[in-house]
Structure 1
Amino acid sequence: TEPAVQFYTGNFLDGLGGKAGAVYERHHAFCLETQHFPDSINHDHFPTTILRPGETYQQSTEYRFSTL
């Protein structure tokens, strides 16, 4: 439910060990991180990022991947 997504890659992985003996080398990973727009607090037309006392915050993200 976040309005933006940050994408970054594992370009600097250098043999990091993972589960079941997996080894993560350069370009073996990527991340999709949902978030609010950068600098949104300074832009009135962006969704608010302020959480006031007594307010709750909840969000969920569902990724669906398929092949072409």
Structure 2
Amino acid sequence: MGFLVTTLIFVAIGVIASLCARICCNRGPSTNLLHLTLIITATVCCWMMWAIVYLAQLKPLIVPVLSEGE
């Protein structure tokens, strides 16, 4: 459930940032498209970084080997 909830949080942050950029930085159609593209790209990249780290900790590729004393 943590993966889905955090994914929805990233979607909400992306939508809010897009709306804020649309309201605060309204300078023309090409500039608005550039701002929207940059916000979506940044949000997707941050989500992918979080997802890779989360899934790597969920199921690691290298299994720890316990020594005899542990």
Normalising by the residue count of structure 2, what TM-score does the alignment of the two structures yield? 0.27
Determine which structure has the larger helix proportion and give its number: 2
Please say which structure displays the higher CA radius of gyration: 2
Determine which structure has the larger strand proportion and give its number: 1
